[in-house]
Amino acid sequence: MKFFKSLMLVLLAVVLSTIVYLLFKHEVQASHDTPYTRTDVTQVEAPTSEPRWRLLLLGDAGDSTLDPWHPTLALASKLASIKPENTSVVMLGDNIYMTGYPNLDEGETEFDEKQLAAIDRLNAQLQISKRSGAELFLVPGNHDWYASQVDSQAEHVALYAQQQQAKVQFLPWQQDAAPEPTAVHRDGVSLVFLDTQWLITTDQSGLDKGLAQLTQLLSDIERDHPDNLILVTGHHPLQTMGPHAEYYTSRGYAFVMGLISLFVDMDQDITNPPYMRFIDGLNKSLNTSSKVVYAAGHEHSLQLFEGLNTGPNYQIVSGAANSSKVSGVGHNDHSLFAVSKEGLTQLSLYPEGLLLEAIATEGGQVLHRQWLWHTAP
């Protein structure tokens, strides 16, 4: 009896010490629930002229409903409707929470109610194109790959495009093949699409091949479209000041993530070695003489970073398309803007430069507006 009592006391001590360790493993920081702007950044008024091209960037919308239509998607559709023929919308991955496009079990021929609800989360995003008339692209995220494949989602998007006469594409995607970086070219801008979950989880040879393809693609763009802005899009950011960088603004959330880390490899955090390998490789590939912006989701906030010594000139994080996923955010020395608020990012390409606006879902309020490049008249 004494032995078992002692054993229980030891186990209790281990559990309590683990709880204390996890509670205080990470320092809890303040969140920018109101917009942070670096002191040397100049906010500007909106130009009165029309842009050559408009780009709407929003990610992690995979919890959005079709009925009622989620307000961030309605905002994107409203903005895209202004001039749909000169607008591109990019959904930055995690298009269906939690496990991607449903898989039918062997012998099943129809989706059940829960699976149909998951598919409607994707349809809700495709509605942006159908209602506005603008083109819409979806890139895959880690949650999309949790279905073990993204073929079903890509095929659904292609069928939707055909049946609804909507300009929607799932990129990059190749049936039964590694997803190669893909580009489309518009007036003054070349959009490049990456499957970052593939690049992070593949082996070294797969990553090397994918980055080599990207380097060649960028070289082709610089040769054929030398004056174009290059907007590279993927799901995973290269910089972030949110939970995926172990920046926690809630003690409870930090505890839960610490507990999960005891049993699961945190492969979606930027401190994970495969993720770090991806960051290093992509920064080197994006180190060109062209004007390059990298846009991602994954982190559920709105952020803007200046470039580092190597890599793109600017980095955007726009993964706050659904209020149920919005998380706290901080800033570092390279942060130009950050806020923990539901919304999206808009890039507008004018003859005189490239304008960035962070727009809140609530009221369509512009939270931040600055030129990324600007030539004075």
Q: Provide the residue type at 315 as one letter.
A: Q
Picking from 25, 8, 11, the residue whose alpha carbon sits closest to that of residue 262 is 25
Percent of the chain with pLDDT over 70: 93
Q: Is 158 exposed, middle or buried (0-12, 13-18, 19+ CB in 10 A)?
A: middle
Q: Is 46 exposed, middle or buried (0-12, 13-18, 19+ CB in 10 A)?
A: exposed
Residue 176 has pLDDT above 70, yes or no: yes
Q: What 3-state DSSP class applies to 294?
A: strand
Residue 26 has pLDDT above 70, yes or no: no
Cα separation of 121 and 192, whole Å?
24
Mean pLDDT of all residues in 309-318: 96
Distances in Å between the Cα of 9 and the Cα atoms of 13, 17, 65, 259, 300 are 6, 12, 49, 21, 41
Mean pLDDT of all residues in 315-324: 96
Percent of the chain with pLDDT over 90: 83
Res. 250 pLDDT band, cuts 50 70 90: confident
Cα separation of 223 and 217, whole Å?
10
Pick the CATH number of 36-374 from 3.20.20.70, 3.40.50.300, 3.60.21.10, 3.90.76.10: 3.60.21.10
The reported pLDDT for the residue numbered 18 is 47
The reported pLDDT for the residue numbered 28 is 78
b (16+ CB within 10 A) / e for 301-318: bbbbbbbeeebbbbbbbb
Distances in Å between the Cα of 128 and the Cα atoms of 78, 88, 133, 307 are 9, 11, 8, 31
Average pLDDT, the chain: 93
Are 321 and 61 within 8 A, CB to CB? Answer: yes
Lowest mean pLDDT among 13-22, 313-322, 332-341: 13-22
Phi-psi region of 247 (alpha: psi -120 to 50; beta: other; left: phi over 0): beta
Mean pLDDT of all residues in 253-278: 87
pLDDT tens digits, one per residue of 98-144: 999 999 988 889 999 999 999 999 999 999 999 999 999 999 999 99
Q: In what order do the strands lie in the sheet with 36-37?
A: 36-37, 335-339, 302-306, 314-318, 292-296, 229-233, 189-193, 182-186
The reported pLDDT for the residue numbered 259 is 76
Picking from 340, 219, 191, 197, the residue whose alpha carbon sits closest to that of residue 272 is 197
The reported pLDDT for the residue numbered 27 is 67
Of 169 and 6, the one with more pLDDT: 169
Residue 298 has pLDDT above 90, yes or no: yes
Of 16 and 31, the one with more pLDDT: 31
> Which residues are CB-neighbours of 286 under 8 A, at least 6 positions away?
218, 232, 292, 294, 311, 312
pLDDT tens digits, one per residue of 321-361: 999 989 999 999 999 999 999 999 999 999 999 999 999 99
pLDDT tens digits, one per residue of 267-295: 999 999 999 999 999 999 999 988 999 99
